Structure 1
């Protein structure tokens, strides 16, 4: 039976969405399209062990094996990624008529991938990459050796015929076609051209990831290609050093290979999208380009990043999302993937959480509008995450603040920090020269902390108005407060939230630091003081609490 949503998806062209909230909602509402992946199916085998000593037989490290693991690679990994994203993938390719081929087929089926397009060729072995990873003194493993078993020769004509016949049988059941070329001989010029022509005749988007050589010629006429920086440079004969280079190369690729668009992935710089624009006379036209930056990530392993980019773009294309949104989602998914070790599927929930959080450990999480932040937080709460809120001045950010913020972050999944504006600090009676640090700088420093998810300016003396708007699950405050002394507790209690006082880091106080700088207290006085100052808490002293205590 044909896949009914495929026709509707192809007819629908979703406009670009510019809000992370809207894009996250789009991801939540994606269907489960059937997507065909054609290309080089690879079996990755990992052998883990302890690198204990040098062998007596030769000057090599002796690895004592502890476990073996089988993973999917190449086109098989793209299909595996699609399954993790909630699509219904089917893979078409060639494996050997051997035990590795049977193991690969079994691993695909266990991952939820349909294998009706796989052909067993007794004339060639299943492509296998065997990696040996050793740990020294039980520390992080390092790859010591990789052994490849493969044949890179082009498929024989009769195997090409069989593969093309399988693909044509599958096309009426799918919503998009992905070509994953690892240079192992499966995507011959004849196979690639045949798949592209048949898919275009069926009205399906065709997206191709070119091989490491950068040869894109066999993908002429496809909807789009997804080359990385190195592959793009090889394709156009010029190193891609700047974003301008990537834009020029993208335009060249689109026009030279008769593409609708090209996604040039440039690692930490994001993705450059080049799109064909038809001329008014109906000719080939020109290209427009757009740059889709990505945030900086802690890279653990780049393995599989290209596969997940192709998978996400394919899923989004099958669902009719615009190329711009395809690029934005591919950025997010690729970033999540490089933070993982090995080829691990990325889920929709992970993409949604990343879109809504902005990610810890980087800038871009400063929100000026309380209503916009409330919408972000509501989506995160709807996905089961706990929102924690705290507030203060944070003048002269110090170790006491950092420790308290880390403790606050541990109370839930999302930490929101409201920072008193300069005007509100002056209204708190801290002194005519406070704050010492302007609000823009105080906010920027807090936004750079890994423990903090969102920072918002607070123009009021108390957080009551923000609490009513944001409705966090937990209100926390560091210092010597009791629960009922935490300003705003009555608001949070009113809607059923939780209020939690935190501890203090002894010996740290902004007021003490300022007095030391001014010379108003001696080092000996500071060392003899054992009781924490009133402002040894998140965000400095809170005069509303001090006045309440005095009363």
Structure 2
């Protein structure tokens, strides 16, 4: 499945996405929590640096830019320094800010976080101070905001609503935006505020509430997928949604559709350092995929990946498409099955090269695995980030003029033996006498061979050298070779190996 998702990510263009919601400015003060203050029983934090990050709907816009979408931001800021910093930060990452209004009756929503570390351990949040207004937008500002948004909807591929209950997403604003987007055939994806009543989101295409939000809106306890499905069906029916993505933190995502079907998408366990921004990342990923026309199963799987990556970071961190691909590749590397068709390996290799990884290639029969093979494969793997091993099929071995009883082991067993080695990432079986076809398809950065080969004897060297790749001969382990081992097993010599 990761192969399919990698393909989706790499085939994305730059969809245009409009984000509507509450803009939040996150200010971080990082320091060393070195001792207890003499003035009061509190930790004394010695400041080391300050940092400004985009939060709330602004963070969704920032994350979308990190994923190479074209983004228009709709919302309000106050007439203050924080508002100026907000707009400057959005413009710095390429967000269109023409639909942001300045509301002189309210402050820019700002969260100040104090982050401390001690004795070189992982930093942790110690305190947060919020400055905000939760009052709904005054009618004059709501009308001006709508006037700017409505004319933009038809020019975008998807509309994302990021509601943090700070007053921008009023029922009147949302109703009009959802109606116009529906009429224009544009998907509307909502990350709802934690409230008891969700009628303001009626008619949206989809929602992405978390476990707590879903429980609060439906007056249910969401313990498992069964609970999530029941709650999801309730909200889909009540609000006229096409589908809902109930995010269940460590348990993954539950999808419920308007046709009554539901599906669970578990996720793998992660080291959780900070959940800040995970919901924004999920909304950004689902919005990006919805704009590109992905189906809901792929949206859920990618939401698991992006949300999981986000909680592994401290604070709000913007992810890139390359990071999503890298994580998908790592997920595939955990799979014990490493033997694939050439097309599959080629696509994965191209993905790895696009994120800057160095691909190493070697080939052989690997009929009777021995210490010489293992030693040189470890050496080969150390030359790059990924090792591809191509092996001759049984038919290919028979055409090489080896002994009549070769191969000793069938290709499936030989492939499985190689796949069991941690240093090997992919195994591909080829039927031809030489690996030239595989080399032309994969185009590795490095071609290596072990044993007694000289560089000018390595098959396919001209292919790799033609596009600037390296060709290396790694040598052999003295006293050990497949031919000698088989001769001894057949009784042609003493069973004695070099120490």
User: Considering the TM-score relative to the shorter chain, is it more than 0.5?
Assistant: yes
Q: How far 1:492 sits from its partner (Å)?
A: 4.1
What is the aligned counterpart of 1:308 among 281, 295, 318? 281
Matched, 1:374 2:342: no
Matched, 1:411 2:383: yes
Whole-angstrom CA distance in 1 between matches of 2:196 and 2:470: 56
Whole-angstrom CA distance in 2 between matches of 1:38 and 1:342: 22
Question: Is this contact kept in 2: 1:175–1:204, CA < 8 A?
Answer: yes
Whole-angstrom CA distance in 1 between matches of 2:201 and 2:286: 17
What is the aligned counterpart of 1:84 among 60, 66, 79? 66
- Residues 440 and 27 (structure 1), Cα distance of their counterparts in 2 relative to 1, 3 Å cut: closer
Matched, 1:100 2:69: no
Whole-angstrom CA distance in 1 between matches of 2:270 and 2:353: 24
Structure 2: stretches of 5+ with no match in the other structure: 488-499
Whole-angstrom CA distance in 2 between matches of 1:224 and 1:352: 25
Q: How far 1:421 sits from its partner (Å)?
A: 10
Question: For residues 218-367 of structure 1, what are the structure 2 equivalents within 5 Å?
Answer: 218-277=200-259, 287-355=260-328, 357-359=329-331, 362-363=334-335, 366-367=338-339
Matched, 1:50 2:32: yes
Q: Which moved more, 1:24-33 or 1:205-214?
A: 24-33
Offset from partner CA, 1:444-468 (integer Å, 9 cap, x none): 754xx5x654355799999888667
Question: For residues 1-12 of structure 1, what are the structure 2 equivalents within 5 Å?
Answer: none
Q: Which moved more, 1:192-201 or 1:209-218?
A: 209-218
- Aligned position for 1:484: 454
Whole-angstrom CA distance in 1 between matches of 2:299 and 2:97: 26
Question: Is this contact kept in 2: 1:421–1:439, CA < 8 A?
Answer: no
Whole-angstrom CA distance in 2 between matches of 1:461 and 1:296: 44
Question: Is this contact kept in 1: 2:415–2:427, CA < 8 A?
Answer: no
Q: How far 1:297 sits from its partner (Å)?
A: 4.3
Q: CA RMSD, aligned part only?
A: 4.2
- Residues 53 and 165 (structure 1), Cα distance of their counterparts in 2 relative to 1, 3 Å cut: same
- Aligned position for 1:201: 183
Q: How far 1:218 sits from its partner (Å)?
A: 1.8
Whole-angstrom CA distance in 2 between matches of 1:485 and 1:241: 61
Question: Is this contact kept in 2: 1:394–1:442, CA < 8 A?
Answer: no
Whole-angstrom CA distance in 2 between matches of 1:256 and 1:320: 25
Whole-angstrom CA distance in 2 between matches of 1:118 and 1:196: 19
- Residues 420 and 160 (structure 1), Cα distance of their counterparts in 2 relative to 1, 3 Å cut: same
- Aligned position for 1:130: 112
- Aligned position for 2:495: none
Question: Is this contact kept in 1: 2:209–2:247, CA < 8 A?
Answer: yes
Q: How far 1:81 sits from its partner (Å)?
A: 1.0
- Aligned position for 1:119: 101
Whole-angstrom CA distance in 1 between matches of 2:222 and 2:414: 40
Question: Is this contact kept in 2: 1:295–1:362, CA < 8 A?
Answer: no
SS in 2 for 1:212: coil
Q: How far 1:470 sits from its partner (Å)?
A: 4.7
Whole-angstrom CA distance in 2 between matches of 1:382 and 1:208: 32
- Aligned position for 1:210: 192
Q: How far 1:495 sits from its partner (Å)?
A: 3.6
- Residues 152 and 459 (structure 1), Cα distance of their counterparts in 2 relative to 1, 3 Å cut: same
SS in 1 for 2:217: helix
Question: Is this contact kept in 2: 1:226–1:310, CA < 8 A?
Answer: yes
SS in 2 for 1:95: strand
Whole-angstrom CA distance in 2 between matches of 1:157 and 1:494: 69
SS in 1 for 2:454: helix
- Aligned position for 1:388: 360
**How many residues are paired up?**
477
Q: How far 1:45 sits from its partner (Å)?
A: 0.4
What is the aligned counterpart of 1:140 among 109, 116, 122? 122
Question: For residues 456-467 of structure 1, what are the structure 2 equivalents within 5 Å?
Answer: none
SS in 1 for 2:261: strand
- Aligned position for 1:169: 151
Offset from partner CA, 1:486-544 (integer Å, 9 cap, x none): 9x93234554253446699xxxxxxxxxxxxxxxxxxxxxxxxxxx8756xxxxx6448
TM-score, normalising length from structure 1? 0.73
Q: How far 1:301 sits from its partner (Å)?
A: 3.7
- Residues 360 and 63 (structure 1), Cα distance of their counterparts in 2 relative to 1, 3 Å cut: farther
Whole-angstrom CA distance in 1 between matches of 2:346 and 2:226: 37
Offset from partner CA, 1:269-295 (integer Å, 9 cap, x none): 433322223xxxxxxxxx222334445
Question: Is this contact kept in 1: 2:79–2:102, CA < 8 A?
Answer: yes
- Residues 173 and 463 (structure 1), Cα distance of their counterparts in 2 relative to 1, 3 Å cut: closer
Question: Is this contact kept in 2: 1:128–1:149, CA < 8 A?
Answer: yes
Question: Is this contact kept in 1: 2:73–2:95, CA < 8 A?
Answer: yes
Q: How far 1:135 sits from its partner (Å)?
A: 2.5
What is the aligned counterpart of 2:163 among 181, 193, 199? 181
Question: Is this contact kept in 2: 1:214–1:232, CA < 8 A?
Answer: no
Structure 1: stretches of 5+ with no match in the other structure: 1-17, 278-286, 505-531, 536-540
Q: How far 1:76 sits from its partner (Å)?
A: 0.3
